[in-house]
Structure 1
Amino acid sequence: MTTWATRGAQALLILGALGCLGLQTALALSEIGRTPREGLGIAVAILGVLFVVCVEIAIVCLWRLLTFVRTDVIFSTRAFRFVDVIVACCVAAGALVLTVAALLAPLPDSDGPAPGVILLIGVFGAGVWGIGLLVVVMRGLLRRAIEWRDELEVVI
């Protein structure tokens, strides 16, 4: 991968991280001044902040993997640690999103979101798990590439 591509990806990660910080701030500020009886709103905001934390951790791991690509050490076992953390973040983030859907689902239509919104939240949570599965497949490809590289180094 060329330097401009890795730098461009890192610039996008910076924008994503800044967006995550803004979202966390907005979620936290939205709950200031709420009464304790609105505990569901507070719980949803906390779950939202935790979701964003998962995204931020994944961004840090992606940054590190891009650094590995730029320095040509991506085909090492050190990369697995960061890939595993990304998978764990996807699992946790998907669970958080589905928990929000489960918390909002029993509300009557007048108090909560429409059923279609609940369905969309659930689909989003399942999509996050799908991204995690895709990363697991890519982890397997990385393992295979490392094995092939080691075999080629022995031959050469």
Structure 2
Amino acid sequence: MGKLTVLALRIVLAMGITGSVFVQAVMVPLLARDLNEDMGPDIASVSVPVIVIVLLGILTVEVSMLCVWRLLTMVRRGTVFSHAAFRYVDVVAGAIAAASLLTFALGVVFAPGESVAPGVVLLIGGAGLLIAGVALVVVILRMLLAQAVARDAEATHLQDELDEVI
């Protein structure tokens, strides 16, 4: 991976983390106020679970971005094909799976009552399903990483044997 690509991704991750902290500090309190004041009584009754789900969802995104940052550091150092990388990939997959569950939970919170249309709840469920699909893609990529680590270890072993022969 080129230095420019790593730098570009680090800039995107830094902006994403900064933006998510801003959303947590400024936008979520404003959302909480709006849910309690401006919306009907049906929405006000579920405002606390909605705010908790939103905050936890933002946390899953932040955790994923920090793990990708660490993986980028490993790429830059040339150590990404090691067992240490699995820890970060597993955390990313877990965070995405948690985001999927949080999305389904949001749909469950909105489902009862007349304040949110059934189609919106269905869309939220579809989004949860798509997020679960992303988690599965990360699991597949983890399997590819495992194969690459095994191949790298095998290549190192063969190189050591060749060095002994020479």
After TM superposition, the score normalised by the length of structure 2 is 0.85
After alignment, is 60-69 or 117-126 more displaced? Answer: 117-126
**Residue 151 of structure 2 aligns to which amino acid in structure 1?**
W
> How far apart, in 2, do the equivalents of 1:125 and 1:11 lie?
28
Return the letter of the residue paired with 2:129: A
Matched, 1:61 2:64: no
Pick from 82, 93, 101 the counterpart of residue 107 of structure 2: 101
Gap runs ≥5 in structure 2: 160-166
2:14 is aligned with 1:11: no
The list of structure 1 runs, each at least 4 consecutive aligned residues, that deviate by more than 6 angstroms after superposition, is none
| Structure 1, unaligned runs of 5 or more | none
1:87 aligns with 2:90: no
Q: Partner of 2:32 in structure 1?
A: 31
Partner of 1:146: 149
Supply the RMSD in Å over aligned alpha carbons.
1.6
- The question of 1:74 aligning with 2:75 is answered no
Equivalent positions of 1:122-141 (< 5 A) are 122-141=125-144
Q: Aligned partners of 1:6, 1:151: CA distance in 2, in Å? A: 27
TM-score by length of 1: 0.91
Cα distance per residue 1:94-150 (max 9 Å; x no partner): 111100001101221xx22x2222222111111111111101000000010010111
Once the 2 structures are TM-superposed, how far is the Cα of residue 17 of structure 1 from its aligned partner? 1.1
Deviation at 1:32, TM superposition (A): 4.0
How far apart in 1 are the matches of 2:154 and 2:46? 56
Tell me the residue number matched to 2:164: none
Q: 1:6 is paired with a residue of what secondary structure?
A: helix
Amino acid paired to 2:56: L
Tell me the alpha carbon deviations over residues 40-90 of structure 1, each in whole angstroms, 9 at most, x when there is no partner. Answer: 012101110100001101110000001111111100100001011111101
Give the share of equivalent positions with the same residue, in percent.
32
Q: Distance in 1 between matches of 2:121 and 2:107?
A: 6
